[in-house]
Amino acid sequence: MLIPISYPLNRAAPLYPGTEPLTITTTKSFEKGDAEEKSLITFSSHAGTHIDLPRHFCPGGGSVRGLLAPEAVFEPAQCITVPITGAEPIRIYDLLPHIDEIRTSRALFIRTGSGRLRESDPAAYAERHPWVHPEVPDFLRMENPALRLFGIDTISIAVPAEPEEGAEVHRGFLCGSPHIFLLEDVDLSYGRLLEGPWVLRVYPMVFDYLEGVPVVALAEFG
């Protein structure tokens, strides 16, 4: 059984402040009585559900093409609940009740509940959402050296009001050894995600030398 946990990418999708919006330019041509329509689609590499790779914040860091496969599989994946509202940080003490899941995951997801605002209050979802404190990456790496991906149901692990902390926490995940990929703006509303290990399948929408890219992400249950 496959469940999509990525959002469709469209012009209505909320974006982290400063991210270029998706644009679609359509042209029509008529030749010999036949009509042909084509569209040029332009979007940011950090729009919608997307993965961040080390090149995003680490000089000389690896890219989508260098570190991922056209189908990237992470197993086991687990999702935990850390109910935080507003622009409050996720700290180590919020994660301690979930230490068993942390120690046994190759991909770890946090459901804050922020996803419910994505449609009802996109401005709050984009600007005033829970974020991850810079102390978290090293804690996760210490508890689980096998962890390779961290995902969250907020538009970013950073918040616009705390730019220095945002840059630091990105570097903590992406530049540390081993690096931990980031999957942001993930739909974690499905209850079954919390019921035990599953398989994460990630399909980059553009497979090239990029620092990040929108993806199709699927949770697979046996």
What is the assigned CATH class of domain 2-220?
alpha beta
Predicted pLDDT at 209: 97
CB-facing half-sphere around the CA of 127: CA atoms within 13 A: 6
Q: Is residue 136 pLDDT above 80, yes or no?
A: yes
Mean pLDDT of the chain: 96
Confidence of residue 30 (pLDDT cuts 50, 70, 90): confident
pTM over 0.75: yes
